[in-house]
Amino acid sequence: MFTNALVIVASLSVGQTAEVRFQDGSLVRVAMDQPAVEVQTRYGKLTVPIAEVRRIELGLHWPPGRREQLERAVDALASSAYKEREQATRELLDAGPLAWPLLKQSKSTDPEALQRVAGLLKRLEAKYPQELLQRRETDLVHTAEFPIVGRITAPAFKATSAHFGELSLKLSDMRTLTFRGPDQTELTIDAAKHGSAPDQWLDTGINLDIDVRLLVNADGHVDLWPQGSGQYMATPKGYTSAGKGSTFMAGALVGRVGDHGKLFLIGERYDGAPGEEGRLYLHIVPSPWNNASTGTYRARISTSFK
């Protein structure tokens, strides 16, 4: 795929905790025993410390020999033998999302093969979500500063699970790896920076998965009208009136997952699953009086499986 490709090496600290989502949707937490991830790319060689790696989104990786096997099955859809056409149809249907790109790329002009390809695509569309069918050929390594696009060359990662012992995580079985960092994080949210306008969000650096439980405990005080010498003080659960451009109370601590996620109230305590996947952002709802707020909230954040 990549002509004259070079290699990026993303260094992973041995023992670093990661959450692995597999193709079947299951989620496992592991300690990574992989010292480095090698990625073919067009843009040279880099070494990215694990502290900078946030998430790896895996493209389509084939188990050894599987692509060639399914390519033969696609060709067999045009076989002159009925039994071979039927067997190939069953094999491609059983292969699920792995068969999708090969069926889409089929250039057969045989009338029956064309009919079988169309039927298989329709059945696969009805059975699997589009994100599983239309997978990229490239992998995406998210860092704190920028994403790295390329192709991870290793067929598997080494890891250790508290429940299953030493593991060889095949890239063909996985969808994502999310590196959590510390299980507990404490942050300070400054109202002057992240609570004086509707678009002032604090990037926590914490990535959430759909099945992850989020626990936040927050305290502190914010002055919604500093000119009034402490007359309009708010806690993380908010003041008594709605904030500027918000349905939430002024001064309330709110959260969002991803760049376009739905806002939810954190308040003094949040314990639940936002149900979205992406980076966690925090924000203090601004004062309704078109002025900057002052003060800070302290948030202690932890994540776990539901």
Question: How many domains would you assign to the chain?
Answer: 3
What is the b/e burial string over 73-82, where b = at least 16 CB atoms within 10 angstroms of the residue's CB?
A: bbbbbbbeee
Residues 55 and 142 in one domain: yes
Residue 32 counted as domain residue: yes
Residues 287 and 257 in one domain: yes
Q: What angle do CA 180, 181, 182 make, to 5 degrees?
A: 115
Domain hosting 74: range is 66-130
The CA-atom distances, in angstroms, between 272 and each of 8, 55, 269, 275, 303 are: 37, 22, 10, 9, 10
d(CA 291, CA 282): 20
Residues 157 and 221 in one domain: no
Cβ contacts of residue 242 below 8 Å, gap of 6+? 248, 249, 250, 285, 288
**Contact of 155 with 61, CB cutoff 8 Å:** yes
Residue 207 counted as domain residue: yes
- Consecutive sets of 10 residues in the chain, 306 residues long: mean pLDDT of each? 49 69 85 84 75 82 92 95 95 93 92 94 91 88 84 90 88 86 80 94 86 90 91 95 90 93 96 89 95 96 76
Number of CB atoms found within 10 A of residue 264's CB = 17
Residue 156 counted as domain residue: yes
* Residues belonging to the chain: 306
Question: Among the three residues 90, 112, 130, which one is the final residue of a domain in this structure?
Answer: 130
Residues 76 and 215 in one domain: no
Residue 251 counted as domain residue: yes
Question: Among the three residues 179, 213, 243, which one is the final residue of a domain in this structure?
Answer: 179
Residue 123 counted as domain residue: yes
- The domain that contains 259 carries what CATH number? 2.60.120.430
Residue 1 counted as domain residue: no
Q: How confident is the model at residue 305, as a pLDDT?
A: 62
Residues 228 and 172 in one domain: no
